[in-house]
Amino acid sequence: MLCAARLTPLHKSDGGVRPITVDELIYRLCAKIILRSIPQHGALLPGQFGVGSSGATEPIIRLIERFVEQVPELSHVALLDFYNIFNEIGRPNLAHSIRTHAQRFYRTASWCLNEPTPLLTIENRRLVLIPSAEGTRQGDPLAIFFFSFGARE
């Protein structure tokens, strides 16, 4: 149950629901300690700059600025973003990628990704358990790091 998370449905203005999860405190503390205790500098380079690298994405931004300055006929720069991609990468693929590229994290990754995360919520005064088995865990301190390895594949 250390990997369980409390699920809170927030109502959106368009009538939809945005599910928000909050991990258990002990899990979050352990995940932060694990993340800080294992050297990760440059582990995702050269393909990923946003996590675990000095300056994060700033080197990419500076490179684009220099490119734009050198090409006067350039009038537009496109920004691409993933749409909810965190839930699109299967957990087995995440674990495989972590095992391939960051073996030090594999035991932790397999512990928190190999089984569905129990999401707990209250519905009509009853505890409801909803298993979550896709993508990284929302709010997990390790989520962006794990996702970055999964996105490499």
Q: pLDDT (tens digit, 0 to 9) for every residue of the chain, 153 residues total?
A: 788 888 888 889 999 888 888 888 898 999 888 877 766 555 665 666 566 656 667 777 888 888 888 887 877 777 766 556 667 788 888 888 889 888 888 888 888 888 888 899 888 999 999 898 888 887 788 888 888 777 776
Structural domain count of the chain: 1
The whole-angstrom separation of Cα 60 and Cα 145 is 19
Q: Among 47, 45, 144, 130, which residue's Cα sits nearest to residue 86? A: 144
Sheet strands side by side (includes 117-123): 17-23, 5-11, 117-123, 126-132
Q: Is residue 33 part of a domain?
A: yes
Q: Is residue 153 part of a domain?
A: no
Q: Which domain holds residue 139?
A: 5-145
End-to-end alpha-carbon separation of the chain, Å?
Answer: 30
Angle at 62 between CA 56 and CA 64, to 5 degrees: 110
pTM: 0.66
